Amino acid sequence: MAKLIRVTWWNYCILPVSILFCALFLATSGCTSAPVQAPSAAAYTGDNFTTWEDARLGIFIHWSHSSQQGVELSWPLVGGTSTMPYCQSMTVEQYQSSAASFNPSKWDPVALARLFKKAGAQYAVMITKHCDGYAMYDTKLSDFSVMRSPVGRDLIREYVDAVRSEGMGVGLYYSLADWHHPDYPAITDADKPYHYYTGAPLPSPERWENYLAFMFGQVREILTNYGKIDEIWFDGQWEHKPTDWKAQELAAMIRSLQPGIKINDRLPGQGDFDTPEKFLPAVPPSRPWETCLTMNDSWGYNKDDPSYKSSTVLIQTLCEIAGKGGHLLLNVSPMGNGQLPPEQMQRLNDMAAWMARNHDSIIGTKPGLEAWQFYGPSTQKGNTVYLHLLSKPYESVTVRSVHVNKVKAVYVLGSGTELQYTKRITLFDQIRKELVKFNDPVGDIVIMVPESVIEPHATVIAIEFEKGL
Model pLDDT, residue 32: 66
Q: Which CATH number fits domain 368-469: 3.30.390, 1.20.120, 2.60.40, 2.30.33?
A: 2.60.40
| Interatomic CA distance for residues 420 and 409, integer angstroms | 10
Which CATH architecture best describes the domain 57-361?
A: Alpha-Beta Barrel (3.20)
29, pLDDT greater than 70:
no
User: Under a CB-based contact definition with an 8 Å cutoff, are residues 439 and 369 in contact?
Assistant: no
Query: Where do the CATH 2.60.40 domains begin and end in the chain?
Result: 368-469
On the 0-12 / 13-18 / 19+ scale of CB atoms within 10 A, 38 is: middle
136, pLDDT greater than 70:
yes
Tell me the percentage of the chain whose pLDDT exceeds 70: 90
Q: What is the mean pLDDT of residues 250-258?
A: 98
User: Under a CB-based contact definition with an 8 Å cutoff, are residues 368 and 133 in contact?
Assistant: no
249, pLDDT greater than 70:
yes
Lowest mean pLDDT across 17-21, 73-77, 230-234, 376-380: 17-21
Q: Could you check whether the bond before residue 193 is cis, i.e. omega within 30 degrees of 0? A: yes
> What average pLDDT does the structure give for the chain?
92
Model pLDDT, residue 10: 32
Q: What is the mean pLDDT of residues 215-235?
A: 98
Helix (H) or strand (E) holding 80: none
| Residue 2's pLDDT band (cuts 50, 70, 90) | very low
Query: Where do the CATH 3.20.20.80 domains begin and end in the chain?
Result: 57-361
Q: What is the mean pLDDT of residues 415-420?
A: 97
- Among the listed residues 171, 122, 169, 124, the one whose alpha carbon sits nearest the alpha carbon of residue 365: 122
Which residues 6+ apart lie within 8 Å of 1 measured at CB?
none
9, pLDDT greater than 80:
no
pLDDT, tens only, 34-69:
556 666 666 888 999 999 999 999 999 999 999 999
Put simply, whether the predicted model's pTM sits higher than 0.75 gets the answer yes
pLDDT, tens only, 387-414:
999 999 999 999 999 999 999 999 999 9
Model pLDDT, residue 41: 61
| Interatomic CA distance for residues 187 and 112, integer angstroms | 34
